[in-house]
A and B are shown apart, each in its own frame.
Chain A
Amino acid sequence: MGKIAVAAPGVAEFAEVAARYRPQIFRFLLSSLRDPDAAETLTQDCLLKAHRNWGSFRGDSSVMTWLLRIAINLQKDHWRSRRMQFWKTTSQNAVDADDASNWLPSLESSPEQQAVAKDQVRLVWKAVKELSERQRTVFVLRHVEEMEIHEIATAIGLSEGTVKAHLSRAMGRVRAELGGKR
């Protein structure tokens, strides 16, 4: 993942860190929320909060893990506030799973392989949509951000065993969705 694992750097270095990790934070929030506007807003909030607390960052974890921890907390607040606003649907601006599966890099494969890949992506999105908030976060960090179990545990603030349990349940759901199709 190309993380920076260093002692707390100076405030002057924050701009460089923000520029480097901003796309990854945005990607994590986009895959969790499926709402580009909300992901952009929360990415800005995350970097603002990180900037305010930059002085207290001790370097116990990598910068990315620390930033993701802030992003995960903001995401929790976001879901909580959306639930409180009962007159709004929680996925008002979220992109539909079918639309989200349209994005595939231009691989050098046949149209048939592209169609199969698109269908698989759609089924994974369908399963991810049904996961609990915590399971989804663990799944995204593991399979989109490719983080190790101990990094996920640090970012979420759970034990490695609990992270593995959430991941196992999430994978069971994904396997069931993919298996049901075949």
Chain B
Amino acid sequence: MTFEDKNRETEDAQVEAALRHFRDSVHEWSDREYARPRSIAATRPGAFWRVISRPVAVWGMAAVLAVSGVTVPAVRHHQHEVKLAEDERQALEAKQKHDEEIRQAALAVDDEDLLNHVDSDIAQATPDAMEPLASLMSETQ
């Protein structure tokens, strides 16, 4: 056996040993990893971005945004209009109620009291031109 042959034999033995260690190492690593509990979530990173990167999802989201961009302001405007109408109706009802109260109060005054009131007003406020006639009446009485 020549020196080269011996050298090659040694080298082959070292490579064989390295490959054997490599195989043992991979088997050991695999056994440990296989036995290790693993969460499902950790195996699926970026699920959101996978969904969001699909054309169908993109178009769907764009459609939702476009529809909501139109409908949301319209709904808010409608709600505002309804509120204004309601406020106006309540103000009108309050005014009508107030007027009705005044009218009822006026009706509540007795007719006789009213006449007395008018009579005293007239008696107290005899015009100057009627003064001689008034004195005449007091003399005859």
Contact = CB atoms under 8 A, between A and B. Distances in A.
B41 to A, nearest CB: 10
6 contacts: A23-B31, A27-B27, A121-B18, A124-B19, A143-B22, A174-B15
Nearest to A124: B22
Given A23-B34, A123-B18, A104 B11 contact: no
Nearest to A145: B23
Contact of A37 (B24, B29, B38): B38
A120 interface: yes
Contacts of A38: 43
Q: Chain A interface secondary structure, helix, strand, loop or mixed?
A: helix
Name the residue in B23, B25, B38 with the highest tally of chain A Cβ atoms < 10 Å from its Cβ. Answer: B25
Contacts of A160: none
Interface residues of B, number: 25
A30 interface: yes
Nearest to A107: B24
Nearest to A28: B30
Contacts of B15: 171, 174-175, 178
B67 to A, nearest CB: 31
A175 B17 CA distance: 12
A182 B42 CA distance: 41
Contacts of B23: 143-144, 146
A123 B17 CA distance: 12
Contacts of A36: 33, 36, 38
A101 B22 CA distance: 8
A30 B25 contact: no
Name the residue in B18, B22, B44 with the highest tally of chain A Cβ atoms < 10 Å from its Cβ. Answer: B22
B25 A121 contact: yes
Nearest to A24: B30
Interface in A95-154: 100-101, 103-105, 107, 117-118, 120-121, 123-125, 143-144, 146
